[in-house]
Structure formats: structure tokens, C-alpha cells
Structure 1
Amino acid sequence: MAVPIKAGIEKMPGGLMLVPMLVGAVVHTAAPDSGEFFGSFTGALYTGLPAILAVFYVCLGATLDVKATPYIAKKGGVLLGSKVVFAMLVGVVLGRLLGESPVSGGAFAGLSTLAVVAALNDTNGGLYMSLMAQFGRKRDVGAYSVMSLESGPFLTMVTLGVAGLSAFPWQTLVGAILPLVLGMLLGNLDPAMRRFLAPAVPAIVPFLGLSLGLTLNLTAVWEAGLLGIGLGLFVVLVGGAVLLLADKASGGDGVAGLAAATTAGNAVVVPSIVAAANPVYAPAAESATVLIASSVVVTSILCPLITALWARRILKEPSAADGVGDPADDGDRPSSTPHHVPGQTPAAAAQHDGS
């Protein structure tokens, strides 16, 4: 008798990342020395996160097509640039107030510049494309091929440096983006390599989650509860407002901007990478990881609701239950069939965000 494990996990927003991460966190909290006890390949899951991430970013890079149309490049560039600039401004403010260390006590205990910047800097790609397929225009779906460049720790490291905090050697910055660039070269030079590497993206996601969870203590998760919800609300409401205005200023209708106001599951691994690259961020890494995981869930739930309300009220789009098209449709609205980024397999597109 078949057991629908995968379908059950995917019912949770970001489930393929978050459920294995929770399992790993439970194991690490209950038996923190189990990695050393078993050793060998089992023990390697406790310490092998960087290697798994390197493979993940090579495979992910292979799905990105550099031959984006001018419209896609413009739309994606506006959304990507808006997110990065907003994260930098927030980073500058928090950097002046908090520095590299997390808040040590009170209601904001555990909050850090690292947590907020990393939560703002990576978009849930699968959710974005799903929302655009339902409420946006066909060509807007492809904008994520440009926005995918935010994946990984590179932009977070740059943002922290711009904010005047402890910077990173240029070798570290190059090393953070090199696997993604290598994958892009392979995928764009040889379509066969893209077809070969792209299907591995969703399969690696659960292993990222498990390996990351094996570094977390659930005591910290409990303590970060309300603060994590607050971070998610900040990303989807304040960040969403910035992206909406940027989208409309560039000639868009605001739907794409709101659909991009999320935190990707991939962002959960960024604090540990940043801390490994620069130990000054180590005290903030664990609490930042927990806060970002909360933001992933909160934004995954709220972003679709807000995007749908905007589409119904401003664009006169029907709700999912209406099933009726808008008479004023401009002909560029998507059909009910999901679309994906040019050059990506549907599976890779859906799972890029760690969901």
C-alpha cells in the first residue's frame, strides 16, 4: 500500500524544506551527539551542509536562461533591484542600531541585521510563478529567471558590507556565487546539461533542510515564535508595499510586486553560510535561521491572500471560486495551465524556493 508522504509534506508551505529541517532539529535537540556517535555517512549529514549547497547551486544555475527577453529582463530587474535596495536600506539602519550581534534580551531577543536582510533578499520563486500564473500576465512569470540571481548568500554578504558591518574577502564573495555561475554556464552552453541537472534541484531540497535542522536546537525555535511572525509580516507588508510601488512605477500593475514579497525556503540556510564565511556573525546565525524559517511560513500564507485581494479589487480579477474571466482582459492573462521560467523544467521551477 502506497503512503502519500511527499503529498502530505507539500501541504505545508515550504514543506520539502521545512519538514526535514524540523525532523533534523528534533534529532539534534534530543540527541545532540548522535552525529559523532554514528559517524560515517550519517555523521556527514551533520557537517556536510556546505557541500550539499554547492551541488544545489550548480544544478539551480543550470536552470537559468540568460536569453531573457527585454521585457522579462526589465520586469525581473525592477523587482530584483527593488528588493536589494530596500534590504540595503534596512541593513544600514539596523546595522547602526544593532551591529553584527543579535539583540540579547527583551521582546526582540534574537533579532539581528543578518536575519532581516537574509529574509528580505530571497523570493519564494515557486509561489511567485504560481501567483503570476493565476493573477498576472504570462510574460511576468518569466521575470523570475532574472530574480533567481538573488539565490544564495552573495547578495546578503554584499548588503551587510554596504551597511557598514563586517565585510567579507572578495574570494569569499566570488566563492559564494561561483557554483551558481558555473551552473548557468553549463546550462546555457549545453541544453543537454540543463536537462540533466535541472531535475536534481527539487530532490536536493529535503537534504538541505535535514542537514540544516541537524544544527538547530528547538529551544531557540520556541523562543523566537512571535518575533518570527513579526519578521514575516514585515517582509510581506512593508516589503510588499515597496515592491508594489516599484512595479507600478515601471509600468506594471502591482501584482508582480506583491507576489514577490516573500521569503524563500533557500534563505533559511544563508545565516549558517554567512557565519562560516565570517565568524563575527556566528552568534546571530542560529536565531536568524529560526526567524527566517518562521518568515518563510508566514509569507507563504499571507502573500497569496494579499495578492489575490489586490488583483480582485484593483484589476477586477475574479476570485478562484468565481471561475469567470474579466471582460477587460488584455489578452496577456495566463490560462489555468501553470507556466514556468524559460529554460526551467516545471519541477525545478516549482521547487527552486525550497518549498
Structure 2
Amino acid sequence: MQIKKTIDKIPGGMMLIPLLLGAVVHTFWAGSGEYFGSFTKGLMTGTIPILAVWFFCMGASIDVRATGTVLRKSGTLVLTKIAVAWVVAMIAMQFLPIGGVQSGFFAGLSVLALIAAMDMTNGGLYASVMQQYGTKEEAGAFVLMSLESGPLVTMLILGSTGLAVFEPHTFVGAVLPFLVGFLLGNLDHDLRSYFGKATQTLIPFFGFALGSSINLGVIIQTGMLGILLGVIVIIITGIPLMLADRWIGGGNGTAGLAASSAAGAAVANPMIVATMKPEFMPAAQSATALVAAAVIVTAILVPILTAYWSNYMKSKGKVVEQVQSDEDIQGSEMKLKHVKGH
């Protein structure tokens, strides 16, 4: 049976399929974890420890060495994405309650859902798309995108907008596993290779654990809104990203559009934030479902739109000239080996 190949055909499938399986179990047998107990219960309720290990391994997989051009391009895209999410949060907090909208078509929509959907890019999707439609330097821009992984950026945005107050040690605790992994991975390349391989392996496990806290009724209720959120993410983040790519990054907008997706790892952020700040718990479950839908929508539409835009720019003769040294090319190719999906 070719189970993995089938799952890989689904955008974000290795994260979303286990998540849906966990949601099915929770919806129709909410007490299954307590019934089985032991390791089964730990697997179904262990979102935080599983994510902590994944975050450590993600940090270990990142190579601090990068060319100036790659850093400029990746830094431009990352900072623009975060800035857009911050602006959206500042505007949305004026209209949306902290617990999210409770009724109507927009039921479940919250500032938490908007930030989680917009502040992270699907690095694997970006890298694979830009390998086909961009330069090696642009494809290598995923390097800094990995720094968006986990709840840290979401927490920073919530804190800076005044929606939540996080103690300094809470921020340290959120990023410490990543920093330790990053340090070890760059001190020893063998450790980077060893731990880096686990980033993909852990994805279905925290997907299942996360799904085990979701009732499918919430996903059904937020389905259409989730699709709309995915489209909004592409429009609201895509336009500034394309402009930044052209004006600052020196590209033709293709890389910016390719970075307008929602990251699969962002699905976990609402629940992680809610465990640290209980006032977000009423919005966390709906936000998780909305972000999951947005991940699927952006994973489908972004490659299509990027291909169209790339071909359009080529027809206009506005192709980014690829000028790199052999060392730059080799460095970018080595970095691309460390990411399959975000």
C-alpha cells in the first residue's frame, strides 16, 4: 500500500490527516484517552511536549551560515509577513472580542486566528515552489522563515498590541528549546543532521495530539469561513510581500507571492497560546479549525498563483537575473536539503 504517497498528494497532508483522525476520535469517543491511559493517553494529550521536541529539532536543522543575498531576501519576506500580521492584529482588536465572534457567519473568528494564520509562511511549500519558478537565492530564503516556527512570533504580536501580557520568562521558555537546538546544530553538523531528520517525523504525532482536542462540529461550523480566511491571507499578506520583494529584495514579486501561504505548524499556535493565557481558550478551538482550513486553501492556491505570476513576469521580460558564485549555489542547495515542509 502506498499510504504515504497518497497522503503527500494532499496539501499539508502529513499534518492535516492525523489531525483529522484525532478530531474524529475526540468527536465520537472523547474519553478514549482516559479509557486507554498510559502511553496512548500521553500520545493523545501530549501536544506541548511533542511540539517542544519538534521545536528543538527545527532549531537544530537551521544553518547559521548564509550568503548576504539570501539573508536579505529571507529577512525581507519574514519581517514583512510579521509586520502585516501585526497591523492586522492592531486593526482587528478594535472590532473583535478576545474570545472571538460567537454567532453568525463569522462565528469563531478572532484576533488569535488571524495572527496565527498570517504570521508564519509554509517554508517547505515556498522552497519547493521557488526551486521551480525562482533563483537558488530566492529558494534559499526559507532559511530565516524557519525562525517563525512555533508560538514565539504570535506571542510577540499579541504582547506588543496589548492583547496579552507575557512575563519575560514565558518568552524565554517558548524559544529556549529552539535556541538550544540551533546552538547544538551549528556547533556540530552531525547533530544538525541527526536532529534535523526528526522534524518531519514528529509532524503527524503533534497533528494527531492536536486533533484529539478538537470537535469536528467546530470544523464543520467554520469550514466556509476557513476557506475565506485562506483567501484573505493570500491577499492581505501577498500584496505587501510582493511589493517588498520588488523594492527591497530585488526580485520581481514571485518570491513574495510564494511566501503568502499559511504554515501547517501554525495550526498548533492557538492552543499553545491558550495554555499559557487561559483568556484565549474560548477562541482557541475555533481558531485551530480556521487556521487548518486556511493552510489547505493557501497550499492549493499559492503554487497556482505563483506559477501564473512567474509566467506573466517572464512574458514581460522581467525575470530576476541569477548571479551567484559557486559557493553561494552550493550553500543554498545544502540548506534546501534540510526542509521538506513547515
What TM-score does the superposition give when structure 1 sets the normalisation length? 0.91
**Alignment partner, residue 36 of structure 1:** 34
Distance in 1 separating the partners of 2:290 and 2:331: 29
Deviations 1:287-346 (A, max 9, x none): 0000000000000011011111111111239xxxxxxxx99784559xxxxx99565473
Mapped contact 1:35–1:46 kept (Cα < 8 A): yes
Indicate how the Cα distance of structure 1 residues 65 and 225 shifts in structure 2: closer, same or farther if over 3 A, else same. Answer: same
Distance in 2 separating the partners of 1:307 and 1:168: 37
**Alignment partner, residue 292 of structure 1:** 291
**Alignment partner, residue 234 of structure 1:** 232
**Alignment partner, residue 327 of structure 2:** none
Aligned to 1:207, the other structure's residue is in SS state helix
Mapped contact 2:271–2:288 kept (Cα < 8 A): yes
1:6 Cα deviation after fit? 0.6
**Alignment partner, residue 249 of structure 1:** 247
Flag the structure with higher helix content.
Answer: 2
Tell me, yes or no, if structure 1 residue 301 matches structure 2 residue 291: no
Distance in 1 separating the partners of 2:297 and 2:137: 27
Structural mapping, 1:314-329, within 5 Å: 314-316=313-315
Structural mapping, 1:258-269, within 5 Å: 258-269=257-268
**Alignment partner, residue 81 of structure 1:** 79
1:99 Cα deviation after fit? 3.7
Mapped contact 1:271–1:286 kept (Cα < 8 A): yes
**Alignment partner, residue 153 of structure 2:** 155
Q: Quick one: which amino acid aligns to residue 199 of structure 1?
A: K
Structural mapping, 1:130-141, within 5 Å: 130-141=128-139
1:95 Cα deviation after fit? 1.2
Aligned to 1:7, the other structure's residue is in SS state helix
Mapped contact 1:198–1:345 kept (Cα < 8 A): no
Structure 2 residue runs without a partner (length 5+): 325-329
Tell me, yes or no, if structure 1 residue 280 matches structure 2 residue 270: no
Select 1:119's aligned residue among 109, 117, 120: 117
Deviations 1:256-312 (A, max 9, x none): 100000011100000110000100100010000000000000000110111111111
Mapped contact 1:243–1:258 kept (Cα < 8 A): yes
Indicate how the Cα distance of structure 1 residues 327 and 224 shifts in structure 2: closer, same or farther if over 3 A, else same. Answer: closer
Q: Quick one: which amino acid aligns to residue 245 of structure 1?
A: L
Q: Quick one: which amino acid aligns to residue 183 of structure 1?
A: G
Q: Quick one: which amino acid aligns to residue 307 of structure 2?
A: A
Q: Quick one: which amino acid aligns to residue 195 of structure 1?
A: S
Distance in 1 separating the partners of 2:294 and 2:268: 13
**Alignment partner, residue 350 of structure 1:** 340
1:68 Cα deviation after fit? 1.4
Give me the identity figure in percent: 45
Mapped contact 2:268–2:288 kept (Cα < 8 A): yes
Indicate how the Cα distance of structure 1 residues 29 and 42 shifts in structure 2: closer, same or farther if over 3 A, else same. Answer: same
Deviations 1:146-171 (A, max 9, x none): 12111110000110112221221111
What TM-score does the superposition give when structure 2 sets the normalisation length? 0.94
Distance in 1 separating the partners of 2:320 and 2:151: 40
Structure 1 residue runs without a partner (length 5+): 318-325, 334-338
Aligned to 2:309, the other structure's residue is in SS state helix
Superposition RMSD in Å: 1.9
Mapped contact 1:63–1:343 kept (Cα < 8 A): no
Aligned to 1:96, the other structure's residue is in SS state coil
Tell me, yes or no, if structure 1 residue 109 matches structure 2 residue 107: yes
Deviations 1:61-88 (A, max 9, x none): 1111111111111111110110011100
